[in-house]
Amino acid sequence: MSGHSKWSTIKHKKARMDAARGKVFTKLIREITVAAKMGGGDEDMNPRLRTAAAAARAANMPADNIKRAIQKGTGELEGVEYLEITYEGYGPGGVAILLETLTDNKNRTAAAVRHAFTRYNGKLAEPNAVAWMFEKRGVVTIAREDVDEEILMMAALEAGADDLESEDDVFRVICQPERFSAVQKGLEGDYAFTSVELENQPKNTVQVAEKDAASLLKLMEALEDLDDTQKLTANFDIDDAILEKLAQ
């Protein structure tokens, strides 16, 4: 299992969605606003906005919230100016970490990121130090319930996807970024998406020893919980036996 998939699974099992729903909506609204500002408010003409809006709908965000976020981006409504800043670093065990943020205060965000890395035995790195270890992939997640895997696979490939992964209670449709909009359009009429995202997936993974696992997971949780975090991934793999032991 890849580092991203491992972290994704860990987050899913924590089942914090109800408590974090407000924070999830905040992240999605920021992405929609920035996407609309950069490429306009028409989803058909703006792939980034289409993906952001699809992710919001998958998270059951009300349509009015999505509309207002777009209007803030296009200038129809007053909004906040956000900066996109990517941080790169290393966690315990030599794990590469890639963190994408949207912030209205870069000094606040930089201080919070630096504090998290220092507290949990990580180290910030220079730009492009670890980014090359990851590659962008479009991922559409679909609940397994009442879905025929073979039929979904055929539909996904026909829409332009590269692969279909089975993970716990969901299917993950994987594609190249340039085909992401086409894959979404090809599947959205027949399947209900639980998430839609452009992910940074690791090309290779690092096996993390038990002595480093606890600190690494605490670092990942601290970074994930930052208000300005949009996307977080790392190239780690941790044995399930170690994860079970840490959960006790």
Question: Any idea how long the chain is?
Answer: 248
Reported as a pLDDT band with limits 50, 70 and 90, residue 178 is: very high
12 pLDDT above the threshold of 70: no
Q: Per the structure block, which two tokens stand in for 4? A: 């991203």
pLDDT, mean of residues 58-83: 94
Task: Let me know if residue 6 belongs to a domain.
Answer: no
Give the total number of structural domains in the chain: 3
Of 77, 74, 11, 81, nearest in space to 43 by CA: 74
Q: Which residues pair with 174 in a beta bridge?
A: 139, 163
Of 100, 131, 120, 89, nearest in space to 213 by CA: 120
Is residue 128 domain-shared with residue 31, that is, in the same domain? no
Is residue 138 domain-shared with residue 189, that is, in the same domain? yes
231 pLDDT above the threshold of 50: yes
> CB–CB of 164/149 below 8 Å?
yes
Residue with tokens 């800043």: 85
pLDDT in tens, 91-124: 999 999 999 999 999 999 999 999 999 999 999 9
80 pLDDT above the threshold of 80: yes
Reported as a pLDDT band with limits 50, 70 and 90, residue 1 is: very low
Domain residue limits at 241 = 84-132+203-247
Is residue 213 domain-shared with residue 128, that is, in the same domain? yes
Identify the burial level of 3 via C-beta atoms within 10 angstroms of its C-beta, where 0-12 means exposed, 13-18 middle and 19 or more buried.
buried
Domain CATH for 148 = 3.30.70.980
pTM: 0.89
Task: Let me know if residue 36 belongs to a domain.
Answer: yes
Residue 248, C-beta contacts closer than 8 angstroms, at least 6 positions apart: none
Is residue 26 domain-shared with residue 149, that is, in the same domain? no
Is residue 59 domain-shared with residue 143, that is, in the same domain? no
